[in-house]
Structure formats: C-alpha cells, structure tokens
Structure 1
C-alpha cells in the first residue's frame, strides 16, 4: 500500500468469512422454483460453472434479455458467447452492443461472486429476479438459524480488533441488516465496526457511499482502503476514486489488477497485520 489508510471498508459475504456451504441451500431453493423438466439441467450448468467448463465464468456478464455471456474489460466488450459456448462474430457483437454495457443487476448481471451464478442460470431457465430474491431471503433466514454454524477465519477477528483503535472500520454490504447482524454475531465481529451500511445497492451506489464516508470521517480517497470479493461492487468503483483496494479473488476471475490481490480471506490477514501499530 502507498500509505497507511485511515478508513477501511469491508464487504460481508466472502470478505469477513469463507464459509460457502450455505450456497448448497441457496441452489436447492432456486431449483425448487423451476419446472421438474429443467431442474437437472440447472444443476448440471451450475456444476459446469464451478468446474470452469461453461461460458458463464466469474468476471463475465450475463445478458438476461439476449441470453448471452459478455466478456467486458476496461469498458470494452472483447467477446460474447451463447449459452452453449459458441462465440459471436464481431459484426454481430457490434450490432447487439454498440456501446459497453452498464451493469444494472437487472438485465445485465455481473458474475462477481458465487451468489450470482445460480441467479444467472435461473434466468436462463426462465426465472425472474423477484423469484430468485425469494430464495436469497430464504437462504439468509436459514443462515440466521441456530442450526447454521459459522466458522471464523483464524486470526481475522483479532486482526480487526487491533486495527479498530487507529483506523475506522466500516462494513458495507448489499445484504439486509437483520440477517447480517446475526452473521456478524456468530463470527464475533458485531462490535468491531465504526459504522455499518446495509442494503448498500452496490455497485450502483458504491461511489456515493465512499464520498459520504470520506466527508463524514474527513479522510481523503487515497486514505480509504476498500476490501471485497466482488470486483465490480467493491474494487472498480473505489479505484475510480483513487482509493486503495484489496481484491479477494476466490475464483481467479482474471480482472485487471488495480491493487493488492489475494485469493482468500486468510491471504488478506498478513496485509492487514502490516497496518497494526
């Protein structure tokens, strides 16, 4: 890092914990909303994405209207694929997308983390966002329950506790407050943040939130560190404001390196430990 940050913004899911077993519940919930005739294909496609054998890959964009997978880097569309993996000709791409697409999480879904993989596949098989949101809230409710155990990342709580005496720690998540607070409680992290921003509407409002935090805590953008596992939500907008970033790239997404990149929450800890006085 160029200089020690005075404020650190952390995402929740995939950033302060590494558990992923709740995604099995999430996938099963979405599957149950599909006709029985398509449920097997839904599961096959999901496994194919996890095995990196599908055109729907982490770091790409799914166009729900055209049922196409877009490869877009540095605000430029490089390739477009059909669901079966055929590559579109450049002329056809230009006709469909004369300008770079703006990710809105309605028509254009950014496959930035594991939450969005089953969402995109469900859209391919005919489900809308309202239906998949039902499964999301059902999964969060399951995570709040006493039977769902969260496994803390060793050393992470202690690291944040040491940082909070000299650095403002802010949680910024798209998840609702009620279930997020329960998750933080299970992880022992609930009282370690100066401020928590829930239902943050990232990436649409990421820059707006960072500007608000900069003004409130009287820190420059260069003194803010944004940490997250979703490049589009947490890394790209922060870098556009000249904030420092640490990208937790769980899936080797291939995004441009705009700051420090690690492949796990455990890999994040050594970088944070360097900031402890």
Structure 2
C-alpha cells in the first residue's frame, strides 16, 4: 500500500469499525419480535439473518433493499442492475427499468445492507415492524452494549493506535450516523473521549460525509488523496470518499457482494490497529522542517 505515505486525514466510522460485536444481533431481533405474532419464529428468522451474513440468502451484504416494492437490488455504483424478489426470483427487465431508471440512482429511499445493523433492519422491514417498535428495540440494545454485563469487547490495541495518530501528525475525524446520546456513551466506554480532532454524531452519511469532505477540500485546501476513510458500511463510509478521490478501507468479518473495489480490505479491529500503527510518523518530518528553518534570514 504505497499510497499510505500520502495520508494526512483519517476518517473513522464507529460501529463495526472501532469495535465489532456480533452478539447484539440476536437480542436486537428478539426485542423487535416481542409482543408480535412472529416471536415464536425467532430461531427461524435468525437463521435467515445468518444466511444473509453468510451470503446464502437472496439478500446479501452489499445489496440494497427497497422496502416500498419489497425488492432486493443488486447494483453497480448505485445503479440497479438486477431486482430480486424476496423469494429469490428476478423481476422482469421492464419493471426494473421502470422503477430504477436514471432518476432513481440516489437510492435514498432504499436500505443498503452493509453490516449487522442493516441486516436486522432489513428483517424489521421485511416483517413489517412499526417504526416506534424499531426505535425502542434499537435504544434498548444500544444501552445494553455499554453495560457491565453485556458490553462489547474493547480493543486496546486499536485504542492505543488511535491515540497515537494525533502525536504522529494526523488529523482525525470520527463520524457516525448513530444518535449523539448513545454514541457519546460508546466513545466513553471505548476510552476514546478527546482522542479525535472532530467528532460528528448523527452525521447523515453518506451525504454528510460527502459534504464534510467537500468543505475540507474547497475551504481548507485538503487534497482528496490525503484522506482515508475506514468503515464497515461501504455506501455510507466509503463511496462518498472514493467519489472525491480519497482512499478507502472496508473493514468487516463478512464477505461483500458489492462490486466496488476498495484500497484495502480488513476483517477486524486488530488489523486496523496494525495499519494505523504502520502509518509513518509525520511529526518527525514537521519537526525536521521547523528545525531546518530556525535562524534563517529573510
């Protein structure tokens, strides 16, 4: 990865990037099903979740789901190239073109199945769970994830690597679409308070990331090729940065069926920690330049 020597700005997602936790998904699904007539089917439905994550379901990591038309969408850079029914059969070409023509490419009313959260979100839509119930279940499981009993595992090596970035001369941004209240609790739980130059909660990615990077380029003179974005949800975390010429790292324990290619692929936070540790120490170059200019006359 010769391009790493150009990196000056590191943009990090939070959920699935700074930590990984697969245990929440079963609880999340269970809370969604509480009080519904599908609660008895929990084991069967969770098997479907595992099939999605494993790539044997019609819905796969890297696809979109259109909840209005109940169609799974295979795409190429956001352009729909196949529409698939929930049973796995392709919709006819005329219907696909009619629904997903050129004016449909923003995909704003479709769900990108990018991670465990998105997989459970797909199941909630598929089952017709009401929005209020989805919010209740989400907040409940988020609260548990930073509890003493059910809290996720902190990755000390990654925490240490992130803390070193500032002293090594890198600018760091943490951007998450998660609500501010629970996200602040997560940052504190991970021991990463005060470790980022900028933290954006409710970041509205992908649009929010695209807009923030554009402002950095236009107003601050940041060169796109000096930015690397790391995340497990490619549509939110990587597509906007690649569009503007930045570098991208997809991190996930699962395989993706998205056809886009990223600059690097990692499976877990330990790999990310190793990558961040190996970024060159730019402070040495900055200090060297400062020292060489001492005593210079004008």
Q: Shared fold (TM-score greater than 0.5)?
A: yes
Q: Which has the larger radius of gyration?
A: 2
**How far is the alpha carbon of 1:225 from its aligned partner?**
1.3
Secondary structure of 1:42's match?
helix
Where does residue 89 of structure 1 map in the other structure?
92
Give the counterpart of 2:57 among 54, 58, 61.
Answer: 54
Secondary structure of 1:205's match?
helix
- The structure in which a higher percent of residues are helix is 2
Per-residue CA deviations over 1:188-242 (Å, capped at 9, x if unaligned) read 2223111110010111322112234456765222222111111000100011111
Residue pairs, 1:26-105, within 5 angstroms: 26-32=28-34, 34-36=36-38, 39-40=41-42, 42-99=45-102, 100-104=104-108
Unmatched runs of 5 consecutive residues or more in structure 2? 282-298
Per-residue CA deviations over 1:75-127 (Å, capped at 9, x if unaligned) read 432222111111223233223323354232xx311101110111112211212
Root mean square deviation, CA, Å: 2.2
Where does residue 263 of structure 2 map in the other structure?
259
- For 1:48 and 1:94, locate their aligned partners in 2 and report how far apart those are by CA, in whole Å: 28
- Residues 1:228 and 2:231 aligned together: yes
Where does residue 186 of structure 1 map in the other structure?
189
Output the TM-score relative to the length of structure 1. Answer: 0.89
- Residues 1:206 and 2:209 aligned together: yes
Output the TM-score relative to the length of structure 2. Answer: 0.84
Secondary structure of 2:116's match?
coil
Closer, same or farther: CA 246–48 of 1 in aligned 2, 3 Å: closer
Secondary structure of 2:230's match?
strand
Give the counterpart of 1:273 among 272, 277, 284.
Answer: 277
Per-residue CA deviations over 1:38-94 (Å, capped at 9, x if unaligned) read 744533432332342211110001110111100011243222211111122323322
Where does residue 293 of structure 2 map in the other structure?
none
Unmatched runs of 5 consecutive residues or more in structure 1? none
Q: After the TM superposition, list the runs of 4 or more consecutive aligned residues in structure 1 that deviate by more than 4 angstroms.
A: 213-218
Closer, same or farther: CA 271–97 of 1 in aligned 2, 3 Å: same
Where does residue 284 of structure 2 map in the other structure?
none
CA contact (8 A) 1:247 1:261 kept: yes
